Structures are given as structure tokens and as C-alpha cells.
């Protein structure tokens, strides 16, 4: 068993993701897409599962967090108040020879045929502009939102009035954001169009530091509980000089990507910056009346945030294994088996139902079993190829269980359930399949053996 050189892993996963229908470069038939991707049948399922797990954990199972879905097109005044129009910038330099542009605060790659002659850095605003109105000349300038947070701040009073929330409480949102990045690459790591899942958690000033630590622990646990190896995660405390204009404190949850340690998610203490600014610019009262002591104040805000696409990449990277010579480990074997050891609740396809052969009543019974299980989970029926090849096909996309219908099924109504990770096979009554699979779906992730990583 072996793994590719870690620096090669990202390219291999990106190739697998395209070949099996997880991720496609957007409009590739017209050339390079420029850090914009489309998501195929399996990618849609995986993203939906990530969203579902996040929502279940942080909204559905909590009584102190409610959801919202705010508009993507954002009024200019909102982003002036938030400071984004003035401060949401990266330092840009351009080579006078090749005219390629780079971020000045990152390592600039060497050119193959010349030495770069760089301009002085200038600040480049990352927001995409749009216009509200029939013509550009008459329209009001607006932006595609660079983050989802501002819709939660501008709706702060609406949430208080309609959801009757009391401090501490949170507003959660998953939605699209847009940033006109100067440099892109590294597959799903840095995109121009992406989804953010985040919470604005409003707390009484003075309690913010304790809540910060609480949400940092919860954020890390989300990834660990869904199968990311703890040794591949670490925390990075931003020094004061690198903090965003709204932040009192920010800690990144970093992942050991194939290209090195970098941000996966983060938690920021935004203080009362946003509510104060929106009150100043709008003229509306955005204070909170505290019934416990009759005081009025602007709550502090703890903001845990993660990118859905970046999380998707991490779950794929951490689950990816190559077995040279197959999982039997043949020393002279040339075959390479790929397995995605995804947590069962994240796997795009939960169960594959396979007739051993295409004869007798096996296909008919298998289709009936698939239809029954499909009422609860994502299930695929597959009758093409040898059973071993079909097993490997579903291992490669992370399917936790394969259910095989064979000649014995017709005698005693039992099927073989094969486990993706251990390859163990249990004989289970068809009528008991749901009871067999349900507790395993909720259990801790089944990891590959350590030596296979």
C-alpha cells in the first residue's frame, strides 16, 4: 500500500473529481475558466451533504441559532458602512514585461524566460460591481456580496422582532459570495465564486472572549467528527497587524493541504463594529435592549465561518487513498485502487445495490431493494461489469456499503452487505437492511488503516 507524493495528490484528486462527476471546470469548452467551477452529479450530492450536516449541527439542533437567506446583490451603502468599499483590497503588482499580475503579499513565481520587472504595489478592490437600473449611466452602483455577513447585520432588528431571540443568539446563513481574486489556482482553494457557511453570534460585551473559545472548539469539532484527521489541523492566531478592519481577534483553523498549511475555516471577534457602523450610516437604532438589567447596548459578534468548496476539497483530500497492487497489497501488482474513505453521512452515494449477475430474478430483486432504500438514502443500482470491478467503482467515489443480490437471495431473502473500509461482508435479511445500516450511518467515521494514508 502506498500514497503518491503529497504534492501530487491535489492534481490526482482534481482528475478523479472531473472523471467521476464531482467537479468540472466551468464552461471548459471555451477555455480556462479562471477559478470558477461547476459541480456534477456527485459533487452536488457531496456539497448538499456538507451543507446538511452543517445546518443540522449548528441550526437544527440548537435553540439559540436561526437561519436567514439574504440577497446576493448588495446596496453600495451597505458595503460603504461595513468598510468593504474602502478596505476590502489586496496589494496588486504587475510585471512590465509579461503584464501578468500578482498579489504583492504572496510569493511570486519565477518566469521561465525573463526576470520580472514589477510595478509598485497598489490596492485592488476585490468586489464585483453591478448596476441597479436600465442603463449604466442612470443606474445606482451595487456589488455582488463579498461575504454573507452583512445581510445578517442589516436584518438584526428584524430577527429580534420576528424570532423573539434573546442574547446570546446566532444568525446562520449558507450562500454565494464573490471575490475578484488577483491570483487563483490550487483547484478549489481560491475561487471567484464560492459558498460561505457562517454564523454571526451576538453576545453581551465582556462575554465575547469565552464565546470565541467555545465557537473555535465547535468549529474544529465539525471537521474532526466528519472524518478529518486531527493531525492535519492546527490553529493560527493572526497577529494584530494582519487583522481585518473589523476584527479584534481572528484565529484560522488551518489544514495541511498538499501545498502546505493554509486556512480552512476561521473564527473572528467582530466586536460591535458592524452594528455601530450600520446604525451610523442608516440612522436606524440597532441597539439591543437587555431585559435583565434594563440596559441598551450594541452586542459583540463572534463569527465562525467556512467555505463550502474549501471544506469539500479537504474532505476529499483527507479521505483519498491509493492502494498500489490493489488492496491485497501484491508487491508486483501494477493496478492502483483508489478509495475515498468519506464519512458515511458525507458520501454522495450511501448504498450501491448490485445483482451478482444479470440472470434469473437477481436484477429484479436488486431493483426492488434499491427502490426501497432510495426512500431514505441516495442509492445507485449497477449491473454492469464484474462484481469486483463494481466494488472498486463505488470505493472510488466513497460509497460506504454495497448490497449484493445473489442466488442465495432467492432462497432466504438475504443479501451480502460489503463494507467499503474493512471489505468485511455480512449476510443480512432484506427486511432488516434499514435497521442494519442506520446505526452505522450515524457512527464515527470508519478510517482507512494508518499505514495506507
Q: What is the pLDDT of residues 274-294, one digit of tens each?
A: 999 999 999 999 999 999 999
Residue 268 lies in a domain: yes
DSSP bridge partners of 91: 123
Residues 154 and 292 in one domain: yes
Domain count for the chain, please give it.
Answer: 3
User: Among the three residues 121, 136, 171, which one is the final residue of a domain in this structure?
Assistant: 121
Residues 133 and 66 in one domain: yes
- Tell me which residue of 254, 246, 255, 251 sits closest to 267, measured CA to CA: 251
Q: Hunting for cell 465539525 — which residue is that?
A: 222
Domain that holds residue 386: 349-452
Residue 447 lies in a domain: yes
Residue 60 lies in a domain: yes
Kindly calculate the radius of gyration of the chain based on its CA atoms and give it in whole angstroms.
25
Residues 278 and 379 in one domain: no
Instruction: State the CATH number of the domain containing residue 393.
Output: 3.40.50.800
Residues 222 and 145 in one domain: yes
**C-alpha separations of 416 from 42, 343, 353, 366, 398 in Å:** 25, 21, 10, 12, 18
Q: Alpha-carbon distance 326 to 338, whole Å?
A: 9
Question: Is the pTM above the cut of 0.75?
Answer: yes
C-alpha cell at 453: 494514508
Residues 290 and 165 in one domain: yes
Residues 190 and 255 in one domain: yes
User: Among the three residues 105, 121, 137, which one is the final residue of a domain in this structure?
Assistant: 121
Which pLDDT does position 95 carry in this prediction? Answer: 76
Residue 367 lies in a domain: yes
Residue 335 lies in a domain: no
- Tell me which residue of 272, 265, 310 sits closest to 288, measured CA to CA: 272
Residues 409 and 440 in one domain: yes
Residue 340 lies in a domain: no
Q: Pick out the chain residues at pLDDT < 50.
A: 1-2, 4, 446-453
Which pLDDT does position 449 carry in this prediction? Answer: 43
Buried-state track 296-309, b at ≥16 Cβ within 10 A, e below 16: eebbbbbbbbbbbb
Q: Alpha-carbon distance 397 to 180, whole Å?
A: 32
Residues 116 and 252 in one domain: no
Residue 75 lies in a domain: yes
User: Among the three residues 293, 316, 339, which one is the final residue of a domain in this structure?
Assistant: 316
Residue 344 lies in a domain: no
Residues 206 and 241 in one domain: yes
Residues 260 and 163 in one domain: yes
Residues 137 and 281 in one domain: yes
Instruction: State the CATH number of the domain containing residue 79.
Output: 3.30.930.10
Residues 84 and 97 in one domain: no
Amino acid at each position: 500500500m502506498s500514497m503518491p507524493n503529497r504534492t501530487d495528490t491535489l492534481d490526482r484528486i482534481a482528475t478523479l473529481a472531473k472523471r467521476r462527476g464531482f467537479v468540472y471546470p466551468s464552461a471548459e469548452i471555451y477555455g480556462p475558466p479562471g477559478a470558477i467551477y461547476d459541480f456534477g452529479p456527485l459533487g452536488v450530492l457531496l456539497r448538499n451533504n456538507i451543507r446538511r450536516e452543517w445546518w443540522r449541527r449548528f441550526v437544527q439542533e440548537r435553540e439559540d441559532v436561526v437561519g436567514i437567506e439574504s440577497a446576493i446583490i448588495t446596496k453600495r451603502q451597505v458595503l460603504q458602512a461595513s468598510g468593504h468599499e474602502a478596505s476590502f483590497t489586496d496589494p496588486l503588482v504587475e510585471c512590465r514585461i509579461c503584464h501578468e499580475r500578482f498579489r504583492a503579499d504572496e510569493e511570486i513565481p519565477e518566469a521561465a524566460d525573463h526576470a520580472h520587472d514589477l510595478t509598485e504595489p497598489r490596492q485592488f478592490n476585490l468586489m464585483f460591481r453591478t448596476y441597479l437600473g436600465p442603463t449604466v449611466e442612470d443606474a445606482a452602483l451595487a456589488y455582488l456580496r463579498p461575504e454573507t455577513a452583512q445581510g445578517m447585520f442589516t436584518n438584526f432588528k428584524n430577527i429580534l422582532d420576528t424570532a423573539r431571540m434573546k442574547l446570546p443568539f446566532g444568525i446562520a446563513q449558507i450562500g454565494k459570495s464573490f471575490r475578484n481574486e488577483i491570483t487563483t489556482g490550487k483547484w478549489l482553494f481560491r475561487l471567484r465564486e464560492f459558498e460561505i457557511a457562517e454564523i454571526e453570534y451576538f453576545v453581551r460585551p465582556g462575554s465575547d472572549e469565552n464565546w470565541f473559545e467555545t465557537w473555535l472548539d465547535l468549529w474544529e469539532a465539525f471537521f474532526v467528527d466528519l472524518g478529518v484527521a486531527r493531525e492535519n489541523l492546527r490553529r493560527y492566531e493572526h497577529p494584530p497587524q494582519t487583522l481585518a478592519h473589523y476584527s479584534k481577534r481572528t484565529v484560522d483553523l488551518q489544514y495541511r493541504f498538499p501545498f502546505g498549511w493554509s486556512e480552512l475555516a476561521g473564527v473572528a471577534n467582530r466586536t460591535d463594529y458592524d452594528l455601530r457602523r450600520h446604525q451610523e450610516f442608516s440612522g436606524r437604532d440597532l441597539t439591543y435592549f437587555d431585559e435583565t438589567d434594563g440596559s441598551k447596548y450594541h452586542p459583540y459578534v463572534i463569527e465562525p465561518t467556512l467555505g463550502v468548496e474549501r471544506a469539500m476539497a479537504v474532505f476529499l483530500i483527507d479521505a483519498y487513498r491509493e492502494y498500489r497492487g490493489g488492496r491485497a497489497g501484491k508487491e508486483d501488482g501494477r493496478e492502483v485502487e483508489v478509495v475515498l474513505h468519506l464519512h458515511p453521512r458525507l458520501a454522495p452515494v450511501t448504498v450501491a445495490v448490485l445483482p451478482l449477475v444479470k440472470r434469473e430474478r437477481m436484477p429484479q430483486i436488486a431493483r426492488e431493494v434499491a427502490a426501497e432504500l432510495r426512500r431514505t438514502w441516495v442509492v445507485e443500482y449497477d449491473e454492469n461489469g464484474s462484481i469486483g470491478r463494481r466494488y472498486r467503482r463505488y470505493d472510488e467515489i466513497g460509497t460506504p456499503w454495497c448490497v449484493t443480490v445473489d442466488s442465495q437471495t432467492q432462497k432466504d431473502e438475504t443479501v451480502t452487505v460489503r463494507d467499503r473500509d474493512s471489505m468485511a461482508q455480512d449476510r443480512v435479511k432484506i427486511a432488516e437492511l434499514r435497521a442494519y445500516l442506520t446505526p452505522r450511518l450515524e457512527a464515527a467515521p470508519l478510517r482507512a488503516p494508518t499505514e495506507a494514508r
